[in-house]
Amino acid sequence: MPGILELRQAIVERFAADHGWQYEPDQVQVCCGGKHGLYNMCQALFGPGDEVLVPAPYWVSYPPMIQLAGATPVIVPLAEENDFDLDASILGQYVTERTRGIIINSPSNPTGSVFSRKTLEAIGKMALERGWVVISDDIYDTIVYGNEPLPHILEVDPRLKEQTIILNGVSKSFAMTGWRIGYSVGPKHIIGAMNKIQSQSTSNPSSIAQKAALAAVRGPQDFPLMMKDAYLPRRDYIIKELVAIDKVTCVVPRGAFYVFPNLSAYYGKAFKGKVIDGSVTMADYLLEEALLATVPGAAFGAEPFVRFSFATSMAVIEEGMKRLRKALADLS
């Protein structure tokens, strides 16, 4: 079951209005959140022996979802010095005859970074030559700072539409996380295979939640813009505070609502005899001693870093940065 026709039609219309991309409702699957969409597509697309390229830092669910399909995630490192854009010249090192696809997440969770047009062109070229499927996780595409348009893989070459599947949803753009509505848009045969999987598992997302998502997708689109305007001063503030701390570096996120500072200069230091030996002990320390909730970089395949979210009030962020400064200064 692909989801109610009204909602799939509304998604098709939104894609056309926002991007000029033309799809039919039978190229759309509505599912129980973006996470479920990714699960369905991995199950439909990959199997034992297949390899899937995953740039790291990655969103936590990509490698396990690929593994649940019996396939192997192949991690491609992104460098902080390159603003976490992919250096396409290294991509070839990770490609084998078993490579079936690549996951793009731009803007990214956890880095907030965006892949440049040049990078997308290089990925698109390889995907066309080798017949890869491209998964473009666009869940943060309404939260992009600055006036430059967000580059997209579909703009690289019209032929890529036949082998690209887009993941999106209302969790981030409309802050409707709990409603659990995501959607995938792509070639009919892939959506068809995903519909068989969904039909034998959840049937479909709750029709009540689908109606709520319909109101969001069809309604005025000023809400995502309002959210973005609210996030921008918080991003600028948290970056200013982070890089002012001795030996902390942080890439300025171009989108989403996370910062991913490099705290590794503090690894090896200790508090009350307990050594901070990596991102997990750092996140534990920040939670226990400073009551700061963060996510360790290890969860995203990037040990030197810790993720902070700035999707909270300025007052909370100010207090959080005060506590972080003190917690790092207390390490010796």
Ligand X SMILES: Cc1ncc(COP(=O)(O)O)c(C=O)c1O
Q: Is residue 1 packed enough to be buried (19+ CB in 10 Å), middle (13-18) or exposed (0-12)?
A: middle
One residue of 8, 35, 161, 307 binding ligand X per CB under 6 A = 35
Among the listed residues 255, 146, 182, 174, the one whose alpha carbon sits nearest the alpha carbon of residue 33: 182
The SS3 call for residue 321 is: helix
- 57 vs 84: CA distance, rounded Å: 8
- 60 vs 301: CA distance, rounded Å: 8
Q: Amino acid identity of 329?
A: A
80 or 137, CB closer to ligand X?
137
Asked if residue 40 lies in contact with residue 197, where contact means CB atoms within 8 angstroms, the answer is yes
- 157 vs 161: CA distance, rounded Å: 8
Shortest Å, Cβ 319 to ligand X: 24
The SS3 call for residue 215 is: helix
Q: From residue 57 to residue 96, what is the string marking binding to ligand X with x (rule CB under 6 A)?
A: --x-------------------------------------
57 or 124, CB closer to ligand X?
57
11 or 139, CB closer to ligand X?
139
Binding flag, residue 136, ligand X (CB under 6 A): no
Binding flag, residue 105, ligand X (CB under 6 A): yes
Binding flag, residue 139, ligand X (CB under 6 A): yes
46 or 59, CB closer to ligand X?
59
Shortest Å, Cβ 257 to ligand X: 10
Q: Amino acid identity of 251?
A: V
Binding flag, residue 137, ligand X (CB under 6 A): yes
Binding flag, residue 176, ligand X (CB under 6 A): no
Instruction: Name the segment binding ligand X (CB under 6 A); options: 48-56, 69-77, 117-125, 169-177.
Output: 169-177
One residue of 16, 79, 98, 177 binding ligand X per CB under 6 A = 177
Helix (H) or strand (E) holding 168: strand 164-169
Shortest Å, Cβ 109 to ligand X: 3
Binding flag, residue 301, ligand X (CB under 6 A): no
Binding flag, residue 40, ligand X (CB under 6 A): no
Write down the H helix ranges in 131-264.
188-199, 207-218, 222-244
Positive or negative, the CA dihedral 160, 161, 163, 165 is: positive
By the criterion CB under 6 A, which residues form the site for ligand X? 33-35, 59, 105, 109, 137, 139, 169, 171, 177, 182
